[in-house]
Structure 1
């Protein structure tokens, strides 16, 4: 692993939650004017969804609770043939429901890439969160996290846990929430490894920061830590967002995935950088 990828545009999906987080580049071969219009519309909608998910950081652990149904779906794909044969696919969805006190949130993400017929990326991530508000800043939660990565030292990694959360900072411009609690972790190591699968007690800790910089700009940083006796897994996504009511919308993001004790032959860290940009002339 340890691959670094730059993709345009970037569609954020988990976990972040989950998370998080899927990055892909959309390079569509246009056959006519209608297909151009459709592709541009899809791109704009993906970025709108991405901005909505980023702004959802403000609602994390919010005592007022999120009300009603919400959700977003995005998909990107591209391929080349000739001197090189490549294919990339990214699909993601996030949806949920809240009644002001109880909240349910589900996120899914799938990425696949191949080069000259050989798979270079194949991963699936899913997350479910239940939140119960006790007051404006204090809440309890239950969470499920599961990932599959063909090229990771841990081919599958699942965590189920409960815990408590608290919004440390809750102002108009800055929100920062922390949560943590016990759970159970089960992970299957890569095929051929001479070590046992993980099946043990674990702990989960998360931090979610939203900082409104003004002038249509905001910063998000989401951290998710799952630790057990055998390994500590950390996912961190840092995003800088510029949301302008005019013709330009921009988001840049850095996703870092870390394992403290990967198997022999695997690196500890993976980094993925993404940029999204739309310019509309009216």
Structure 2
């Protein structure tokens, strides 16, 4: 049997806080176990996020349809009544130079008084490969909050962008691809007022392997919207495969937005996964 121990930032503090305060069952074991699972998933996602399958040229996708789906449901009766339902699916379709991916996640929740969550997330990603270096992309995203009913609440947040991409470097130990294009964002608040604006998007994905156990990534995304607001996100990270059972990643994320009073946010994170 393999067990995984994951550390992410101040995860130990959160873990012991959960053990001391979360007691929704008689022993509280279920709450602690759920919290450990959350910490494991957070650390694992942080490490796996650096593995970009598009870095190395046209990926060898399974021809035709493939994908996965999941469903989670829980319900309570008695002193407190509630229901929670989560549904997600990821579908891929590959044919010739076309590779398309569609992801959908739905979350619903209600208690004995009212509906408390009605969210939908949709992501579409399509790439057409002209050769090993040059490709075209289409990116689409929509986030919908079915319960938004106030002016300061976002009911729909959507974006779609298209453009070309090119792999400047495509070697075994170093890859660099860039892509740029035009896009349109759409915002609709809880009262039905909407705003649509055009923008220019650009992205850079750089990978360098120092050794079989250590590699670095630097991912940059830039969006300049129609209201002359510049937004930049840069994620610099180094991943270490210390042994067959120990992996770690250190990353530094900078997020810049001209529309904010404090324009720059920075985040330093450490993720460690140890299996034994």
TM-score, with normalisation over the residues of structure 1? 0.60
Distance in 2, Cα, partners of 1:239 & 1:98: 31
Distance in 1, Cα, partners of 2:164 & 2:138: 9
- CA-CA distance at 1:245 after TM superposition: 3.7
* Residues 56-71 of structure 1: pairs in structure 2 closer than 5 A: 56=52, 58-60=53-55, 62-67=57-62, 69=66
Q: Which residue of 2 aligns with 1:161?
A: 161
CA gap of 1:141–1:24, structure 2 versus 1, over 3 A, is: farther
Structure 1: stretches of 5+ with no match in the other structure: 1-7, 11-22, 74-90, 110-123
| 1:180–1:206 CA contact under 8 A, matched in 2 | yes
CA gap of 1:186–1:24, structure 2 versus 1, over 3 A, is: farther
| 1:102–1:130 CA contact under 8 A, matched in 2 | yes
Ranked by relative contact order (alpha carbons within 8 Å, sequence separation 6 or more), the top structure is 1
SS at match of 2:172: coil
| 1:183–1:204 CA contact under 8 A, matched in 2 | yes
| 1:106–1:126 CA contact under 8 A, matched in 2 | yes
* Residues 1-282 of structure 1: pairs in structure 2 closer than 5 A: 9=8, 27=15, 28-29=18-19, 43-44=39-40, 46-56=42-52, 58-60=53-55, 62-67=57-62, 69=66, 95=90, 97=92, 99=94, 101-105=97-101, 127-145=123-141, 158-187=158-187, 199-230=196-227, 231-262=229-260, 266-280=261-275, 282=276
SS at match of 1:55: coil
Please list the CA deviations of residues 118-157 of structure 1 after superposition, one character each: whole Å capped at 9, or x if unmatched. xxxxxx9864321111111111111124579xxxx99786
SS at match of 2:8: coil
- CA-CA distance at 1:170 after TM superposition: 0.2
Distance in 2, Cα, partners of 1:170 & 1:72: 33
CA gap of 1:25–1:170, structure 2 versus 1, over 3 A, is: farther
Count of residue pairs brought into register by the alignment: 222
- CA-CA distance at 1:46 after TM superposition: 4.9
SS at match of 1:62: coil
SS at match of 2:19: coil
Distance in 1, Cα, partners of 2:255 & 2:140: 18
Structure 2: stretches of 5+ with no match in the other structure: 1-6, 21-26, 71-85, 106-119, 145-151
TM-score, with normalisation over the residues of structure 2? 0.61
Q: Which has the larger radius of gyration?
A: 2
| 1:240–1:251 CA contact under 8 A, matched in 2 | yes
- CA-CA distance at 1:25 after TM superposition: 7.8
Distance in 2, Cα, partners of 1:94 & 1:243: 30
Distance in 1, Cα, partners of 2:182 & 2:220: 17
SS at match of 1:29: helix
- CA-CA distance at 1:185 after TM superposition: 2.8
